[in-house]
């Protein structure tokens, strides 16, 4: 009987639960932020905001189960976490601002997401064929960009819970982030086995305990939270279908599918089960179907969470069932606001310290992939150089695209998307177009260009990405 791949292994119960909780802790802030921002734009009360946040946790859990366990040809069956995509926040806020009656805003948003999700589901097998254009020089660039693009999120968390507050970036917040980071590093350096693998979770616990005397840990959510709270279907009203909103969310869906494709390729490299066309098609079906179902339970568009890829890269725990357990915790928190508030107790600065390790691990994985990408070829060096530069524009110069229309900003504000598209296009231009079939092949075009070492051109290395 063939040995099971680590992705398909079921770990001991305690290890499954604690490792699953690590994934929940890593994604929690990313899942709850979009509904809070959109909910405020829609004029929701504090109670309704709590409901909307719980619904997002619940639907993120459903989408993650669909992705990790899978049914039929749906689900990548990788340790892949799904949650609310940030790409849709700005368009959804714009829809809310343009809606005269704020009570119609969420039904219009939900209607647009349902249509975009169903269209994306139909397009998934065709979109997945783009995997042919993702050789190591492209995937390595994109993986590196994913890690680097997430760094500002960690740095933002490290500065405090409220960017508008006067003490944002105060020494106590930065100290807590530093302590959290040091604890994770010490555990990784001086422990072994299971304890070493849950270093992030332990770092968050220690950081939270230390934050208490600083007055940064907020336990008020525990007292205000209800024990049970089911996300009633269509709580905010039946979905409405507005053409402009649908077009806007379809654009977001394309961006989301592009990022998910890149994330699946990245995760496939990290867990040593390369994501082929079939896997990507199944993963995109889970993304899009999860997105179409989410509005039924008052959730938003579902997409891959790159920060959890960093957790897989760092812990080396590759089991998809661990992430499925994490999905179970998300569903529990969606049904039990009191449970959700336990994770909410972790202060953002503490999460920021751990985030530096997580997101840095993603970037490091990208660099490892680039090492196999034939960078002795000048063409590939140019592809990586220009693509990373383009991908860093939203980070290094946030106002660079300020003169562009809002619809274009959906794509341009995502350095992962722009860097990915740039890498694919440049790879085609330099390594494919105009070359004979013997000289270049789309699945692994590492030929072409001069050897920068000045010696005889080397043979291409590495296996093809199928």
For tokens 């292994």, the residue is 9
Residue 385 lies in a domain: yes
pLDDT at 288 over 90: yes
Q: How confident is the model at residue 348 (pLDDT cuts 50, 70, 90)?
A: confident
Burial, 374: exposed, middle or buried (Cβ in 10 Å; 0-12, 13-18, 19+)?
buried
* pLDDT, tens only, 245-261: 887 788 778 877 877 88
Residue 444 lies in a domain: no
3-state class (DSSP) for residue 414: coil
- Among 127-136, 254-263, 328-337, 356-365, the range with the most confident prediction by mean pLDDT is 328-337
pLDDT at 447 over 50: no
Residue 437 lies in a domain: no
Number of domains in the chain: 1
The region that residue 449 occupies, defined by phi over 0 for left and psi between -120 and 50 for alpha, beta otherwise, is: left
pLDDT more than 70, % of the chain: 85
3-state class (DSSP) for residue 168: coil
Angle (CA) 231 237 241, round 5°: 120
Can you spell out the DSSP letters for 67-85?
Answer: HHT-BTTB---SS--EEE-
Other Cβ atoms within 10 Å of 40 Cβ, number: 13
Residue 463 lies in a domain: no
Cα→Cα distances 271→54, 153, 263, 424, Å? 31, 24, 12, 23
* pLDDT, tens only, 39-55: 877 887 767 777 888 88
CB-based contacts of 300, cutoff 8 Å, min separation 6: 34, 35, 38, 56, 59, 84, 85, 88, 92, 109, 113, 291, 294
In the predicted model, what is the mean pLDDT of the chain? 80
Would you state the structure tokens that stand for residue 402, as one six-digit string? 């300020």
Residue 257 lies in a domain: yes
* pLDDT, tens only, 95-127: 887 787 888 889 999 999 999 999 999 999 988
pLDDT more than 90, % of the chain: 16
82-84 and 302-304 beta bridge pairing? antiparallel
Domain encompassing residue 357: 16-422
Mean pLDDT, range 289-299, rounded to an integer: 91
Residue 278 lies in a domain: yes
Say which residue, 461 or 141, is predicted with more confidence. 141
* pLDDT, tens only, 405-428: 766 765 677 677 788 888 889 998
Would you state the structure tokens that stand for residue 380, as one six-digit string? 């590939």
DSSP conformation class of 12: -
Mean pLDDT, range 329-334, rounded to an integer: 86
Residue 465 lies in a domain: no
Residue 429 lies in a domain: no
């Amino acid at each position: 009987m063939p040995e099971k791949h680590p992705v398909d292994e079921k770990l001991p119960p305690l290890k499954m639960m604690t490792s699953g909780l690590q994934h929940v802790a890593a994604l929690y802030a990313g899942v709850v932020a979009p509904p809070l921002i959109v909910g405020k734009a829609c004029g929701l009360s504090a109670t309704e905001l709590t409901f909307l946040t719980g619904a997002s946790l619940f639907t993120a859990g459903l989408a993650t189960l669909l992705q990790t366990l899978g049914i039929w040809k749906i689900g990548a069956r990788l340790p892949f976490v799904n949650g609310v995509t940030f790409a849709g926040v700005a368009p959804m806020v714009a829809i809310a601002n343009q809606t005269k009656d704020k009570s119609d805003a969420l039904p219009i948003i939900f209607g647009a997401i349902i249509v975009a999700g169903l269209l994306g589901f139909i397009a998934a097998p065709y979109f997945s064929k783009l995997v042919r254009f993702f050789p190591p020089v492209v995937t390595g660039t994109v993986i590196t960009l994913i890690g680097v693009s997430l760094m500002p999120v960690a740095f933002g968390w490290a500065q405090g819970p409220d960017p508008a507050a006067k003490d944002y970036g105060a020494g106590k917040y930065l100290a807590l982030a530093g302590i959290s980071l040091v604890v994770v590093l010490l555990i990784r350096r001086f422990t072994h086995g299971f304890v070493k693998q849950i270093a992030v979770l332990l770092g968050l616990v220690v950081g939270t305990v230390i934050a208490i005397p600083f007055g940064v840990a907020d336990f008020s959510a525990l007292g205000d939270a209800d024990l049970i709270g089911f996300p009633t279907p269509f709580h905010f009203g039946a979905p409405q279908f507005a053409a402009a909103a649908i077009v806007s969310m379809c654009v977001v869906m394309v961006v989301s599918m592009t990022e998910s494709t890149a994330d699946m390729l990245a995760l496939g490299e990290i867990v040593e089960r390369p994501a082929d066309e079939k896997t990507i098609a199944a993963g995109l079906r889970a993304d899009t179907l999860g997105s179409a179902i989410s509005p039924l339970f008052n959730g938003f568009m579902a997409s891959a969470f790159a920060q959890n890829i960093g957790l897989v890269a760092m812990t080396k725990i590759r089991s998809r069932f661990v992430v499925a357990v994490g999905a179970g915790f998300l569903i529990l928190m969606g049904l039990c606001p009191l449970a959700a508030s336990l994770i909410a107790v972790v202060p953002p600065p503490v999460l920021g310290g751990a985030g530096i390790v997580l997101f840095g691990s993603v970037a490091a994985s990208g660099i490892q992939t680039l090492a196999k990408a034939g960078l002795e070829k000048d063409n590939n060096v140019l592809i990586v150089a220009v693509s990373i530069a383009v991908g860093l524009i939203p980070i290094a110069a946030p106002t660079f695209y300020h003169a562009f229309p809002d619809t274009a900003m959906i794509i341009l504000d995502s350095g992962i998307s722009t860097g990915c598209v740039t890498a694919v296009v440049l790879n085609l231009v330099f390594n494919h177009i105009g070359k004979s079939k013997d000289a270049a092949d789309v699945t692994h075009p590492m030929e072409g260009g001069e050897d920068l070492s000045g010696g005889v051109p080397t043979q291409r290395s590495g296996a093809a990405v199928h």
